[in-house]
Homo-oligomer: A and B are copies of this chain.
């Protein structure tokens, strides 16, 4: 008789990783028809942007969707990236867990080598058709095109109809616009899939729009199912800094991982192993670690006992080691966040873009990370709804699971009332005409699931998001305060100027006397230089008017300053008072000997591009006692962008204090 164990033994066998993900596709985000459609676009776009950046090419990404049945679609993505060599093309698109970035410690969008091949697999599962993959690499004469499908039983690609193609003709045959035939290299993927096409907050359009915000160096073309073409133009031609690959940081490493590294290292001595295989370990630190652990620095790393490995680990946790270098990260930066937001959100004509905040790097579980945030306020943004939250991880928009994300948790934990937004009960997502944007960049963004929809709620990360947001929020509050103050001053002015003369007339009539000249009295009451900037939308962009009233007792001479992108200005900036327009956009006017009770008016146009840069609070004065001036602050000493974007410096942790990582280990942030 066969025992149960023997019967079971016959059934025990290996399961291929493709079979696993075929059955558990929800892990990868393919858990509803609308989400499945967007997942493929996301995976392909991420790969395109990663590849372009790796090759130092300004990314051009084409995304096209055709409806081929009620719930059937053809999705096509093309880029101008470095391409994929012919041999690897089938594997990249037709084999799960195959990729180039899994083992490298640095910021990138994709890492696992699953996303795009899972997309191809899902397409073939739901429509029965293989994908078409094609690529041409730089310097090669021809490109290659082939049909690719996943053999799920073996997790290997199957190919058909491999053929050499002339890239220009191949692209032209796909019916794409001529622009695309200009590129000499790139990657093309086209697949059919079951899906549901939706519009709104979780649409492909929104995904690409948000991608454009955090990738201002990319141009993205989207052709939707009605053949409507949307081009998200690039806002800058500046490539993001290349994220460098780093070695693992020793802090927080696990015993088994340390042992496994020691067993396979090429180093012959313990000290060399520590220095060569980890980042941030100098000669001095390596010696200190060995000494602390009571270990001989010349010992073969392979030959330690379990107890000695434990001592080594304890020593690593004890000795002070510099935080990981952060050139493995590629943050967007404050200037480009502002540019990206303006560029994409301008259609909603917001009043104010709060100067963004890019925090200094921190570390969790050995992975450095940077949090960046921006807030957009007012204008046509809806006033009676919750603020819109734009979440990003390594420059990729996160559209799902908002409630589970550390970004949302941090937002909900802030008392937004003190920053001028409505919030019921002082907790939760605030209400008001605002968009809050947060980007987390890391060598390993701690997503809650493989579908990369929400970032885990780690204490240290929530704190950073909190601090970044409070920085922005203070800028917003300052703006709102100034606006309020300006409004009150204006009202006071109007009252004084309208009421006083009327009182004079009335009093004179009652007393049957002549109406007295009270301009001196008004001046006496006011005793200010009143600067009133306002703007009006025109067809071309914005008409800015600055009025200067001298309500003091004497002539006044002083300078006015502001800052606009040079390219937003036209000849209208030239006026009697203009003194200087510099290439970086710094503008100076000189007001000479303005007599008392007199005023001057300066007007100029801003082109659409720069219109969103206008902030009525960004007018500064110099050469006059600032106590006399209402409506403008004194020019800060450090003239320049910083003068305009005065981000209040957060009280940072004292240098002597340590940051605690999630495992309770301490990391000294020595950067």
* 8 Å CB contact of A256 from B27, B87, B126, B254: B126
Give the residues in chain B near A368, CB-CB below 8 Å.
none
Report the minimal beta-carbon distance from A541 to chain B, rounded to whole angstroms.
40
Residue of B nearest to A257 (CB): B125
Report the minimal beta-carbon distance from A373 to chain B, rounded to whole angstroms.
25
Asked whether A34 is an interface residue with its Cβ less than 8 Å from the other chain, the reply is no
Asked whether A418 is an interface residue with its Cβ less than 8 Å from the other chain, the reply is no
Asked whether A16 is an interface residue with its Cβ less than 8 Å from the other chain, the reply is yes
Give the residues in chain B near A11, CB-CB below 8 Å.
100-101, 104
Q: Which of A77-111 contact B (CB under 8 A)?
A: 82-85, 87-88, 91-92, 95, 97-102, 104
Report the minimal beta-carbon distance from A462 to chain B, rounded to whole angstroms.
15
Give the residues in chain B near A257, CB-CB below 8 Å.
125
Cα(A102)–Cα(B185), bound, Å: 43
* Contact assessment for A20 and B100 in the assembled complex, using a CB-CB cutoff below 8 Å: no
Report the minimal beta-carbon distance from A17 to chain B, rounded to whole angstroms.
5
* Contact assessment for A256 and B125 in the assembled complex, using a CB-CB cutoff below 8 Å: yes
* B interface footprint on A169-205 (CB within 8 Å = 1, 0 otherwise): 0000000000000000100000000100000000000
Give the residues in chain B near A24, CB-CB below 8 Å.
112, 450
Segment of A2-10, A386-394, A468-476, A652-660 engaged in the interface with chain B: A2-10
* Contact assessment for B306 and A129 in the assembled complex, using a CB-CB cutoff below 8 Å: yes
Asked whether A600 is an interface residue with its Cβ less than 8 Å from the other chain, the reply is no
* Contact assessment for B98 and A139 in the assembled complex, using a CB-CB cutoff below 8 Å: no
Asked whether A229 is an interface residue with its Cβ less than 8 Å from the other chain, the reply is no
Residue of B nearest to A149 (CB): B256
* B interface footprint on A5-37 (CB within 8 Å = 1, 0 otherwise): 110110111111101100110110001000000
* 8 Å CB contact of A88 from B1, B12, B85, B100: B12
Asked whether A448 is an interface residue with its Cβ less than 8 Å from the other chain, the reply is yes
Cα(A1)–Cα(B17), bound, Å: 37
Report the minimal beta-carbon distance from A261 to chain B, rounded to whole angstroms.
12
Asked whether A55 is an interface residue with its Cβ less than 8 Å from the other chain, the reply is yes
Give the residues in chain B near A99, CB-CB below 8 Å.
12-13, 15
* Contact assessment for B27 and A27 in the assembled complex, using a CB-CB cutoff below 8 Å: yes
Residue of B nearest to A194 (CB): B254
Asked whether A407 is an interface residue with its Cβ less than 8 Å from the other chain, the reply is no
Asked whether A137 is an interface residue with its Cβ less than 8 Å from the other chain, the reply is yes
Q: How many copies does the complex hold?
A: 2
Asked whether A456 is an interface residue with its Cβ less than 8 Å from the other chain, the reply is yes
Asked whether A628 is an interface residue with its Cβ less than 8 Å from the other chain, the reply is no
* Contact assessment for A3 and B129 in the assembled complex, using a CB-CB cutoff below 8 Å: no
* Contact assessment for B19 and A102 in the assembled complex, using a CB-CB cutoff below 8 Å: yes
* B interface footprint on A512-536 (CB within 8 Å = 1, 0 otherwise): 0000000000000000000000000
* Contact assessment for B27 and A449 in the assembled complex, using a CB-CB cutoff below 8 Å: yes
* 8 Å CB contact of A82 from B4, B15, B83, B254: B4
* Contact assessment for A137 and B3 in the assembled complex, using a CB-CB cutoff below 8 Å: yes
Cα(A658)–Cα(B137), bound, Å: 55
Asked whether A128 is an interface residue with its Cβ less than 8 Å from the other chain, the reply is yes
* Contact assessment for B137 and A92 in the assembled complex, using a CB-CB cutoff below 8 Å: no
Give the residues in chain B near A135, CB-CB below 8 Å.
5
Give the residues in chain B near A129, CB-CB below 8 Å.
306
* 8 Å CB contact of A255 from B31, B84, B127: B127
Cα(A422)–Cα(B649), bound, Å: 49
Asked whether A113 is an interface residue with its Cβ less than 8 Å from the other chain, the reply is yes
* Contact assessment for B97 and A15 in the assembled complex, using a CB-CB cutoff below 8 Å: yes
Give the residues in chain B near A13, CB-CB below 8 Å.
98-100
Report the minimal beta-carbon distance from A222 to chain B, rounded to whole angstroms.
26
Chain A residues bordering chain B, tally (CB within 8 A): 73
* 8 Å CB contact of A97 from B17, B26, B91: B17
Give the residues in chain B near A95, CB-CB below 8 Å.
14
Give the residues in chain B near A185, CB-CB below 8 Å.
5
Asked whether A167 is an interface residue with its Cβ less than 8 Å from the other chain, the reply is no
Cα(A191)–Cα(B532), bound, Å: 75
Cα(A304)–Cα(B415), bound, Å: 64
* 8 Å CB contact of A3 from B82, B102, B194: B82
Asked whether A323 is an interface residue with its Cβ less than 8 Å from the other chain, the reply is no
Asked whether A614 is an interface residue with its Cβ less than 8 Å from the other chain, the reply is no
Known: A125-B256, A127-B256, A306-B129. A137 touches B6 (CB 8 A): yes
* Contact assessment for A128 and B259 in the assembled complex, using a CB-CB cutoff below 8 Å: yes
Give the residues in chain B near A83, CB-CB below 8 Å.
3, 5
Report the minimal beta-carbon distance from A132 to chain B, rounded to whole angstroms.
15
Give the residues in chain B near A56, CB-CB below 8 Å.
4
Report the minimal beta-carbon distance from A438 to chain B, rounded to whole angstroms.
21
* 8 Å CB contact of A6 from B23, B85, B91, B256: B85
* Contact assessment for B138 and A3 in the assembled complex, using a CB-CB cutoff below 8 Å: yes
Cα(A520)–Cα(B439), bound, Å: 86
**19 sample A-B contacts, Cβ–Cβ < 8 Å, listed by A number:** A5-B84, A5-B185, A9-B87, A9-B88, A12-B100, A13-B98, A13-B100, A14-B95, A15-B99, A16-B97, A17-B97, A20-B112, A23-B102, A31-B456, A125-B254, A125-B255, A127-B256, A129-B306, A152-B260
* Interface residues in chain A, defined as those with a beta carbon under 8 Å from any beta carbon in chain B: 1, 3-6, 8-9, 11-17, 19-20, 23-24, 26-27, 31, 51, 54-56, 82-85, 87-88, 91-92, 95, 97-102, 104, 112-114, 124-129, 135, 137-140, 152, 185, 194, 254-260, 306, 309-310, 446, 448-450, 456
| 6 nearest A-B pairs in the assembled complex, by CB-CB distance | A4-B82, A5-B137, A125-B256, A11-B100, A4-B55, A15-B97
Q: A5-B137, A152-B260 are in contact. List 18 more A-B contacts (CB 8 A).
A: A4-B54, A8-B51, A8-B54, A8-B82, A8-B84, A9-B84, A9-B88, A12-B98, A14-B95, A15-B112, A20-B97, A24-B112, A26-B446, A26-B456, A27-B449, A125-B254, A126-B256, A129-B306
